[in-house]
């Protein structure tokens, strides 16, 4: 198993007692949503992403193996942390970070604390191949080849990262508009 797969299993076990956990693929990894909000995740090749109280960020950055969250080389706002595999190798350290994430989540922590604009936009589409062609050939966007797979594409933008993925739900049967749209705000 890869370090990312091992971490995914550890997080699943740590959150197994909760009834409101949902796993969702995100750019660069897998997010664990608790109470409908991103709580913790697996990022890259085995780092753990932790959502925490933004006011605690500076204090938490002093812990072993911790750095500010980033997406495509851009630092995210306070409240997003990445913990290296060394920082969570010990079970007590791992449990501590799960606790930090759950504590913020239970206190009502949300991704939308300050709506300044999204940090990431993703659309699920019916036909990824046709959509990829539309955005590259008609609109002139460039694909970031690091994130170009048969079911997902990230465009190399200078502002807000923009991605397309193959629809995970039947968009024709979606009960309301907006299904398949992801707006991620790190505020």
Q: Are 44 and 54 a contacting pair, CB within 8 Å?
A: no
Which has the higher per-residue pLDDT, 187 or 52? Answer: 52
In the chain, the number of structural domains is 2
DSSP state of 139: S
Tokens of 10: 């550890």
* Boundary residue ending a domain (49, 82, 106): 106
Q: Are residues 23 and 84 in the same domain?
A: yes
112 assigned to some structural domain: no
Q: What is the DSSP string of 89-102?
A: SSHHHHHHHHHHHH
Q: What is the pTM (predicted TM-score) of this model?
A: 0.61
Helix or strand run (H / E) with residue 52: none
- For 40-77, what is each residue's pLDDT tens digit? 999 877 899 999 998 999 999 999 999 998 766 777 78
Assess whether pLDDT exceeds 60 at residue 90.
yes
Assess whether pLDDT exceeds 70 at residue 184.
no
28 assigned to some structural domain: yes
Q: Are 160 and 71 a contacting pair, CB within 8 Å?
A: no
Which has the higher per-residue pLDDT, 8 or 108? Answer: 8
* Boundary residue ending a domain (106, 139, 160): 106
- For 145-162, what is each residue's pLDDT tens digit? 888 888 889 888 766 788
Q: Are residues 100 and 170 in the same domain?
A: no
DSSP state of 73: T
DSSP state of 76: P
Q: Are residues 129 and 102 in the same domain?
A: no
- List b or e across 18-42, with b for residues whose CB sees 16 or more CB atoms inside 10 angstroms: eeebeeeebbbbbbbbbbebbbbbb
Assess whether pLDDT exceeds 80 at residue 35.
yes
- For 95-113, what is each residue's pLDDT tens digit? 999 999 999 998 875 543 3
115 assigned to some structural domain: no
Per-residue pLDDT at 116: 47
Per-residue pLDDT at 115: 38
Q: Are 65 and 25 a contacting pair, CB within 8 Å?
A: no
Most confident of 47-51, 113-117, 139-143: 47-51
Q: How does residue 173 score in pLDDT terms, banded at 50, 70 and 90?
A: confident
123 - beta bridge partners? 164, 181
Per-residue pLDDT at 81: 94
Q: Are 54 and 79 a contacting pair, CB within 8 Å?
A: yes
* Boundary residue ending a domain (50, 79, 106): 106
């Amino acid at each position: 198993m890869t370090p990312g797969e091992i971490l995914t299993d550890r997080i699943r076990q740590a959150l197994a007692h909760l009834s409101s956990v949902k796993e969702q693929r995100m750019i660069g990894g897998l997010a664990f949503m608790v109470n409908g909000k991103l709580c913790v995740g697996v990022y890259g090749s085995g780092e753990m992403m932790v959502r925490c109280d933004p006011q605690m960020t500076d204090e938490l950055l002093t812990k072993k193996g911790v750095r500010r969250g980033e997406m495509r080389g851009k630092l995210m706002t306070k409240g997003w942390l990445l913990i290296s595999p060394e920082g969570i190798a010990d079970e007590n350290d791992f449990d501590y970070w799960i606790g930090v994430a759950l504590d913020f989540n239970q206190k009502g922590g949300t991704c939308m604390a300050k709506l300044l604009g999204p940090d990431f936009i993703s659309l699920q589409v019916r036909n990824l191949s046709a959509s990829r062609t539309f955005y590259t050939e008609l609109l002139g966007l460039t694909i970031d080849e690091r994130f170009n797979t048969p079911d997902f594409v990230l465009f190399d933008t200078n502002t807000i990262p923009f991605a397309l993925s193959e629809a995970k739900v039947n968009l024709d049967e979606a009960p309301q508009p907006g299904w398949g749209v992801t707006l991620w705000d790190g505020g």
